[in-house]
């Protein structure tokens, strides 16, 4: 049994990067362009609800640990709030607030009837047993249940959470209300009302958008050299689907390090190696490379699918990709955006590029509310249609206003949410 200090290390000694300030900076840029009225700026630059809970969890040895979790709703104007739950040692309220705000814009860009929410628990789940993980999930769910509901706030998987954890959340909520409510979460196992195609939806959506962006940038996706940072659910799906569509995956990485082959990797073999060893490191037929160097490889498309703040003002001058497609949330800092823009590197922003996950979550929610399942072909076809039409709208907005894609996407999103807010008014 690990000691508490190892198992639940606090990030107090780690300098926090204030993600919420970065999110508000992005909002302010769009608000300036849209000439948003002062009252509306105040409303949309704040989160509507912020819940922090400190809750006990019983460990396998009988001891009790107290963990800290959050659930934040940024906006509920368009409809129920929607957003993932992550388990990570570095979870902070600032991070969760930023992610909730980005979820609002993401849903608005895609035209989904949701506002944005996010949740997280400050813990390293990889050091927990399955029983401890279940105890954590059920108690955290009960603590935040005052915000949850199929027509109120709908969680989904995020960093270090998965369909099993969503099943525990659904069951806990259902037991507390006395009847089964499959639509209270998305990203569930198929047997509990999950949607076909949900697991790979974020990575698939990234690739659909990358194909469209490559056309606008004047090069073919078929044969393009692609680098993927992060080989979890999003990164591995993006790499596999991109390879299926003809791209050459020359580099991938995970927490342990990366691998590189300028002639292209056998992505299916890399995935098998990762499944067997829990890392891409040590894969035959590739050179080892650090995560830092991987980001600076010469390629057409870089897809960061890890965590926030990976491309900063420090390494942005050395990025050699023609295009960055943000599979992760917030991987590029505002200062790095300026540098990349000056260098002519196209950035397809997270609120568009990785919105495939929440889009198929919406499909799952609709199926749950109607108790009527769709086929995988229906899901993927509808996803491609929404991703490509949303990209076209953002591209037209950016060209029309003479701004980059991130600002164009933010203008689309903020304008839409502001319109909801004006129409609904202020109660009472």
pLDDT at 6 over 90: no
Tell me what the mean pLDDT of segment 192-204 comes to: 92
Tell me what the mean pLDDT of segment 94-112 comes to: 95
From CA 388, how far away is CA 332, in angstroms rounded? Answer: 23
Q: Let me know if 385 is a catalytic residue.
A: no
Confidence at 8, pLDDT banded by 50, 70, 90: very low
- Give the number of C-alpha atoms closer than 13 A to the C-alpha of residue 301, restricted to the C-beta side: 35
| pLDDT, position 10 | 36
Question: Whats the size of the chain, residue-wise?
Answer: 428
Which one of 82, 106, 118, 248 is the catalytic residue?
118
Tell me what the mean pLDDT of segment 419-424 comes to: 93
Closest CA to 210 of 253, 233, 241, 251: 241
pTM, two decimals, is 0.88
Residue 248 bridge partners (DSSP) = 225
CB neighbourhood size of 108 (10 A): 27
Residue 16 vs residue 333, higher pLDDT: 333
| pLDDT, position 371 | 87
Q: What is the pairing mode between strands 115-122 and 153-157?
A: unpaired
| pLDDT, position 13 | 32
pLDDT at 16 over 60: no
Please tell me whether residue 227 adopts helix, strand or coil conformation. Answer: strand
pLDDT at 271 over 80: yes
From CA 208, how far away is CA 406, in angstroms rounded? Answer: 17
From CA 235, how far away is CA 255, in angstroms rounded? Answer: 12
pLDDT in tens, 146-187: 999 999 999 999 889 999 999 999 999 999 999 999 999 999
Domains recognised in the chain with CATH numbers: 46-183 (3.40.50.10860), 201-353 (3.40.50.720)
Closest CA to 116 of 155, 143, 90: 155
pLDDT at 3 over 80: no
In angstroms, the Cα distances linking 148 to 169, 313, 386 are 10, 38, 27
**Burial 313-351, CB ≥16 within 10 A → b, else e:** eeebeebebbbbbbbbbbbbbbebbebbbeeebbbbbbb
| pLDDT, position 17 | 53
Question: E strands of 102-230, at which residues?
Answer: 115-122, 153-157, 225-229
Assign 3-class secondary structure to 352-414.
Answer: HHCCHHHHHHHHHHHHHHHCCCCCHHHHHHHHHHHHHHHHHHHHHHHHHHCCCHHHHHHHHHH
Percent above pLDDT 70 for the chain: 96
């Amino acid at each position: 049994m690990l000691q508490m200090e190892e198992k639940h290390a606090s990030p107090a000694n780690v300098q926090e990067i204030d993600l919420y300030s970065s999110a508000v900076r992005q909002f302010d840029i769009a608000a300036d362009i849209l000439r948003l009225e002062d009252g509306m700026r105040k409303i949309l630059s704040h989160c509507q609800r912020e819940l922090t809970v400190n809750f006990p969890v019983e460990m396998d040895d009988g001891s009790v640990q107290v963990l800290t979790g959050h659930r934040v709703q940024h906006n509920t104007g368009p409809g129920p709030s929607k957003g993932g739950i992550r388990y990570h040692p570095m979870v902070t309220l600032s991070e969760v607030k930023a992610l909730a705000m980005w979820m609002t814009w993401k849903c608005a860009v895609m035209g989904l009837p949701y506002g944005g929410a996010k949740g997280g628990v400050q813990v390293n789940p990889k050091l927990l047993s399955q029983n401890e993980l279940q105890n954590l999930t059920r108690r955290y769910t009960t603590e935040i249940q005052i915000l949850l509901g199929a027509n109120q706030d709908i969680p989904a998987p995020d960093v270090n959470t998965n369909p099993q954890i969503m099943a525990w959340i659904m069951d806990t909520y259902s037991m507390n209300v006395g009847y089964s409510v499959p639509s209270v979460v998305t990203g569930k196992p198929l047997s509990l009302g999950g949607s076909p195609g949900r697991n790979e939806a974020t990575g698939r959506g990234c690739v659909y958008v990358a194909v469209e962006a490559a056309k606008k940038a004047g090069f073919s996706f078929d044969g393009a050299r692609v680098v993927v940072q992060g080989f979890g659910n999003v990164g591995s799906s993006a790499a596999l689907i991109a390879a299926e569509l003809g791209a050459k995956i020359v580099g991938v990485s995970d927490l342990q390090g990366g691998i590189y082959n300028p002639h292209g990797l056998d992505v299916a073999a890399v995935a098998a190696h990762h499944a067997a060893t829990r890392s891409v490191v040590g894969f035959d037929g590739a050179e080892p490379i650090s995560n830092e160097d991987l980001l600076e490889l010469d390629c057409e498309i870089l897809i960061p699918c890890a965590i926030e703040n990976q491309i900063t003002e420090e390494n942005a001058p050395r990025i050699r990709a023609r295009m960055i497609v943000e599979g992760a949330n917030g991987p590029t800092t505002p200062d790095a955006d300026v540098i990349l823009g000056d260098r002519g590197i196209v950035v397809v922003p997270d609120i568009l590029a990785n919105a495939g996950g929440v889009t198929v979550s919406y499909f799952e929610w609709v199926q749950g509310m109607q108790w009527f399942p769709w086929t995988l072909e229906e899901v993927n076809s509808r996803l491609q249609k929404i991703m490509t039409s949303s990209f076209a709208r953002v591209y037209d907005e950016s060209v029309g206003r003479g701004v980059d894609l991130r600002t164009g996407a933010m203008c689309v999103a903020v304008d839409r949410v502001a319109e909801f807010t004006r129409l609904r008014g202020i109660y009472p």
